[in-house]
């Protein structure tokens, strides 16, 4: 088995390699003078089961091209099986035609990964579960929920805790965590007049006196979380925190979170943190290295991956 990584999230790749007690495969992933991606493997991968760990986060296009070219290099080097390990799958928010004459970019990216030569995909908390069906190769969508549940049990008094879905679309995800913890669920009813902008319309559930915890898959601008935090506190919530799988946190989102009344925002390390994110005191990071590492180990040994989340 071989573990290869590009430049998107070296720290996570090293964490996974440490869990697997496996060195990262020696390879070069750099740029030509005109910024084209250049890849070269410095180890023999013929007949190997190779896992390519690469998040397609910012800069999304550069990291996606690195992934595709690494996969192509491995295929042409006669790797036996190539698994694309995508802790964060970019372009997942464009999973349907939301308006006339718009693309379904998630399907396009799935096609590109398959055409490049990937034999299977491992990813984490897809924005929409149906994206699994966009791939014509086996795809495992791992869940961050077990990691979150353990952390909430360690840091919160469950008798006074309530899980909150920041929108109607995330109810199934939030209900799963609430069920695992044995706590109640509330829902924020919001509308999104345009991309990246949200307005809280109503809160479904009695949040008064509770420590409210949002659970969502992506935090990008941070606007939804900050607006919903204000709404929950006005409704009588004792405190408001949030657990998010993928901390995209683009542009001035870290400053917005830091200045908010949110107790803390807990994100995974599926996306490498910018210095601006690391500097915010109420943003905490949980590693998914052991989760990804165990999923890779089970895939390599042909064991069940879904049993990780039972």
Phi/psi for 238 (5° steps) reads -70, -45
Whether residue 196 has pLDDT greater than 60: no
Domain check: are 8 and 127 in the same one?
A: yes
- The pLDDT tens digits of the residues spanning 222-264 come to 888 998 899 899 999 999 999 999 999 998 999 999 999 999 9
Which pLDDT band holds residue 168 (cuts at 50, 70, 90)?
Answer: confident
Spatial separation of the C-alpha atoms in residues 199 and 172, rounded to whole Å: 21
Domain check: are 250 and 302 in the same one?
A: no
- The pLDDT tens digits of the residues spanning 13-32 come to 999 999 999 999 999 999 99
Whether residue 191 has pLDDT greater than 80: no
Whether residue 270 has pLDDT greater than 70: yes
Q: How many of the other CB atoms lie within 10 Å of CB of 252?
A: 13
Angle at 64 between CA 297 and CA 224, to 5 degrees: 90
Domain region containing 54: 2-142+290-309
Q: How many domains does the chain have?
A: 2
Mean pLDDT over each residue of the chain, to the nearest integer: 92
Which pLDDT band holds residue 197 (cuts at 50, 70, 90)?
Answer: low
Identify the CA nearest to 9 among candidates 310, 286, 271, 218: 271
- What pLDDT, on the 0 to 100 scale, is given for residue 170? 85
Spatial separation of the C-alpha atoms in residues 96 and 56, rounded to whole Å: 19
Domain check: are 59 and 103 in the same one?
A: yes
**pTM for the whole structure:** 0.91
Domain check: are 153 and 266 in the same one?
A: yes
Whether residue 268 has pLDDT greater than 90: yes
Tell me if residue 183 falls in helix, strand or coil. Answer: coil
Spatial separation of the C-alpha atoms in residues 71 and 89, rounded to whole Å: 16
Phi/psi for 282 (5° steps) reads -100, 20
Q: How many of the other CB atoms lie within 10 Å of CB of 155?
A: 14
- The pLDDT tens digits of the residues spanning 91-122 come to 998 999 988 999 999 999 999 999 999 999 99
- What pLDDT, on the 0 to 100 scale, is given for residue 41? 96
Domain check: are 109 and 49 in the same one?
A: yes
Domain check: are 149 and 172 in the same one?
A: yes
Domain check: are 42 and 20 in the same one?
A: yes
Q: Is the dihedral of CA 94, 84, 113, 72 positive or negative?
A: positive
The β-bridge relationship of strands 139-142 and 81-86 is unpaired
Identify the CA nearest to 264 among candidates 229, 218, 236: 229
Q: How many CA atoms lie within 13 A of 288 on its CB side?
A: 30
Token output for 162: 């309530």
Spatial separation of the C-alpha atoms in residues 16 and 6, rounded to whole Å: 14
Whether residue 309 has pLDDT greater than 90: no
Domain check: are 20 and 58 in the same one?
A: yes
Domain check: are 48 and 83 in the same one?
A: yes
Are the C-beta atoms of residues 158 and 181 closer than 8 Å to each other?
Answer: yes
DSSP states of 167-181:
SGGGHHHHHHHHHHH
Spatial separation of the C-alpha atoms in residues 294 and 289, rounded to whole Å: 8
Identify the CA nearest to 53 among candidates 122, 128, 107: 122
Spatial separation of the C-alpha atoms in residues 3 and 79, rounded to whole Å: 12
Catalytic annotation present for 190: yes
Domain check: are 81 and 195 in the same one?
A: no
Whether residue 193 has pLDDT greater than 60: no
Token output for 55: 């998040």
Q: Is the dihedral of CA 134, 138, 144, 146 positive or negative?
A: positive
Domain check: are 94 and 168 in the same one?
A: no
- What pLDDT, on the 0 to 100 scale, is given for residue 192? 60
Query: What's the average model confidence in pLDDT over 119-129?
Result: 94
Kindly report the CATH number assigned to the domain that includes residue 280: 3.40.50.2020
The β-bridge relationship of strands 120-124 and 197-204 is unpaired
Domain check: are 66 and 194 in the same one?
A: no
Which among 30, 35, 190, 263 is annotated as catalytic?
190
Query: Strand pairing partners for 40?
Result: 28
Are the C-beta atoms of residues 85 and 292 closer than 8 Å to each other?
Answer: yes
């Amino acid at each position: 088995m071989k573990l290869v990584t590009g430049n998107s999230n070296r720290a996570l790749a090293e964490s996974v390699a440490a869990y697997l007690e496996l060195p990262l495969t020696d390879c070069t992933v750099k740029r030509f003078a005109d910024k084209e991606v250049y890849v070269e493997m410095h180890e023999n991968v013929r007949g190997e089961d190779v896992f390519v760990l690469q998040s397609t986060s910012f800069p999304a296009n550069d990291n996606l091209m690195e992934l595709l070219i690494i996969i192509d290099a491995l295929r042409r080097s006669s790797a036996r099986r190539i698994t694309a390990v995508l802790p964060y799958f970019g372009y997942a928010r464009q999973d349907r035609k939301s308006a006339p004459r718009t693309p379904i970019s998630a399907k396009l990216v799935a096609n590109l990964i398959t055409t490049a030569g990937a034999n299977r995909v491992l990813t984490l908390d897809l924005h929409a579960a149906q994206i699994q069906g966009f791939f014509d190769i086996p795809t495992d969508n791992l869940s961050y929920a077990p990691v979150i549940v353990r952390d909430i049990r360690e840091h919160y008094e469950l008798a006074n805790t309530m899980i909150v879905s920041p929108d109607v679309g995330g109810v199934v995800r939030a209900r799963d965590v609430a069920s695992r913890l044995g706590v109640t669920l509330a829902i924020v009813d919001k509308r999104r007049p345009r991309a990246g902008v949200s307005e809280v319309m109503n809160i479904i559930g009695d949040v008064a006196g509770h420590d409210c915890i949002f659970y969502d898959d992506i935090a990008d601008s941070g606007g939804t979380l900050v607006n919903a935090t204000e709404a929950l506190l006005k409704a009588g919530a004792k405190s408001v925190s949030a657990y998010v799988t993928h901390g995209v946190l683009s542009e001035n989102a870290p400053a917005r979170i830091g200045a908010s009344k949110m107790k803390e925002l807990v994100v995974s390390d599926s996306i490498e943190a910018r210095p601006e994110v690391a500097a915010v005191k109420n943003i905490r990071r949980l590693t998914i290295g052991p989760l990804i590492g165990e999923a890779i180990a089970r895939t390599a040994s042909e064991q069940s991956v879904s049993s990780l989340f039972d």
